[in-house]
Chains A and B, each alone.
Chain A
Amino acid sequence: MNLLNIPLPDDLAPNAGLDGPARVCVAADLRPDGTLGAQWLVVTNRTVYLLSREERVTIIVWSRRISDISEPKTLTFIGGGALEATVDGEKQVLERYTGARHGQFNTVAGLLEKWSKGEEAEVPEEESHRCPTCGLPLRKGSRVCPACIPKSRTLKRLLGYLVPVRGMALSLMGVSLLATALGMIPPLLQRPLYDMVLAPKPGTVETPERYRLLLLLTLGLLAVALVGSMLGVLQSWISSWLGNRVTHNIRCQLFQHLQYLSLSFYDKRQMGSVISRVNQDSGGLQHFLTWGAQEMVTNLLLFLGVGAMMFVINWKLALLVVLVVPFISAIGGQVWRRLRHVMHRIYHRWGRVNAMLSESLTGLRVIKAFAQEDREIERFSTRSDELFMPTVNIERTWAIAFAGIGLLFGISRLLVGYVGGMEILGEHMTIGELAAFTMYAAMFDGPLRHLSMLLNWSSRSFAAAERIFEILDTEPEPHDQRQATIPPIEGRLEFRHVTFGYERARTALKDLSFTLEPGEMIGLVGHSGAGKSTIINLVCRFYEPQQGEVLIDGLRIADLPLEGWREQIGLVPQDTFLFSGTIAENIAYARPGATREEIIRAAKVANAHDFILRKPDGYDTLIGEGGQGLSAGEKQRLAIARAVLHNPRILILDEATSQVDVETEKQIQEAIDRLVAGRTTIAIAHRLSTLKNAHRLIVLKSGEVVEIGTHDELLQKEDGEFRRLVTMYQEVSKVREVGR
Chain B
Amino acid sequence: MTSPTEETNLPTADELRLLEPAAVRFRTVGHRLEVCLDDDSWQESSLLRMFPLSEEYGWLAVLNADGKELGVLRDLHGLAHDSLAAVREELRRRYLVPRITAILAVRDRADVTEWRVETDRGPATFQVRHLSENLKQPLPGHLSLTDVEGNRYDIPDLAALDDDSRRRLEERM
Contacts and interface: CB of A to CB of B under 8 A. Distances in A.
A78 B96 contact: yes
Interface string A330-346: 00000000000100010
Interface string B127-138: 101101100000
Contacts of A129: 148
A351 B132 contact: yes
B97 A34 contact: no
A146 B95 CA distance: 34
A146 B110 contact: yes
Interface stretch (A11-19, A91-99, A580-588): A91-99
B150 A273 contact: no
Nearest to A76: B94
Contact of A147 (B31, B110, B123): B110
A341 B148 CA distance: 21
A79 B124 CA distance: 15
B151 A100 contact: yes
A36 B121 contact: yes
B81 interface: no
A737 B171 CA distance: 60
B52 A146 contact: no
Contact of A100 (B97, B132, B150): B150
B109 A136 contact: yes
Given A36-B122, A100-B150, A269-B133, A79 B127 contact: no
Q: Which of the four size classes fits the interface of chain B?
A: 20 to 34
Contact of B172 (A35, A100, A341, A351): A341
Contacts of B121: 30, 34-36
A341 B151 contact: no
Contacts of B133: 268-269, 273
B95 A92 contact: no
Contacts of A30: 96, 121
Contact of A92 (B30, B111, B132): B30
Interface string B80-113: 0000000000001111111000000000011110
Interface string A71-97: 000000111111010000011110010
A126 interface: no
B27 interface: no
B39 interface: no
A348 B172 CA distance: 11
Interface in A692-736: none
Contact of B95 (A78, A136, A137, A273): A78
B95 to A, nearest CB: 5
Interface string A50-88: 000000000000000000000000000111111010000
Contact of A136 (B96, B127, B130): B127
A98 B119 CA distance: 14
User: Among B32, B93, B123, B172, which residue has the most Cβ atoms of chain A within 10 A?
Assistant: B93
30 contacts: A30-B121, A34-B92, A36-B121, A36-B122, A77-B93, A77-B95, A77-B96, A78-B96, A78-B97, A79-B96, A79-B151, A79-B152, A80-B96, A91-B30, A91-B31, A92-B30, A98-B149, A99-B149, A99-B150, A100-B149, A100-B151, A129-B148, A136-B110, A136-B127, A146-B110, A146-B111, A268-B133, A269-B133, A273-B132, A351-B132
User: Lowest 8 CB-CB distances: which A-B pairs, in order?
Assistant: A100-B149, A80-B96, A147-B110, A79-B97, A146-B110, A79-B96, A137-B148, A35-B122
